[in-house]
Amino acid sequence: VKGGPKLIIGIDPGTTCGLAVLTLGGIPVHVGSRKGMSRGDMIRTLLDLGDPMLIAADVAPPPEFVEKLAKEFEATVYRPEALLTVMEKQEMAREYLKQFDIKVDDSHSRDALVAAIKAFNHYKSKFESVESELATRNLDLPQEEVKALVVKGYSVQRAIESLLPQMRESETAHPVEEEALTEDDLKVRGLRETIAFYKERLEAAAKANER
């Protein structure tokens, strides 16, 4: 069952499979590789982390493994417009790893991370437009739902308009006092929701280990 934060996934399939998972804010929640990882293993791993909505490889056309995984999650496949050299991949990964103070020890993890970063960068300006538009119009819509529609090909305006009826229904059922929400307010709320989700995961894992 899908649920949790919307995610961007980078994959480097092969005998040893690289996997990188980013939030819609570009924050890494998982980067690593594993030998002999099946599609079923990958699905279970991703379900534990959240709801994949964008899946990428660093080659075009994307491998069959990536296409089939995207179908499982009804996710969009990101196809890079240009392939990077090994040196360009190393530089992109190096800057990102330094920014978030994480380490990657193998090329499979690095290539998966680069795929995820490229996918994130491709949609970054549109995601920022979503945040800005919601704040400007003082709309308390779920940012991630709007961004998910944008990834599926909706314009920012159309994505917002398509979700407005749901918000109005919710307001009718649960009337609340109107509150001005700034762009920063919306970002903080999204981060708090993401942190709360992963805190619950960690607590559940800790309890399971105690048994």
> Tokens 């437009």 label which residue?
129
Question: Do the Cβ atoms of 31 and 112 come closer than 8 Å?
Answer: yes
Each residue's pLDDT tens digit, 71-128: 999 999 999 888 889 999 999 999 999 999 999 989 999 999 999 999 999 999 999 9
Residue 108: name the closest of 211, 172, 31 by CA.
31
Each residue's pLDDT tens digit, 45-87: 999 999 999 999 988 888 999 999 999 999 999 998 888 899 9
Dist CA 183 CA 191 (whole Å): 13
pTM above 0.85, yes or no: no
Strand intervals (E) in 63-206: 76-78
Percent share of the chain, pLDDT over 90: 66
Dist CA 143 CA 150 (whole Å): 11
DSSP state at residue 61 = S
Dist CA 46 CA 71 (whole Å): 14
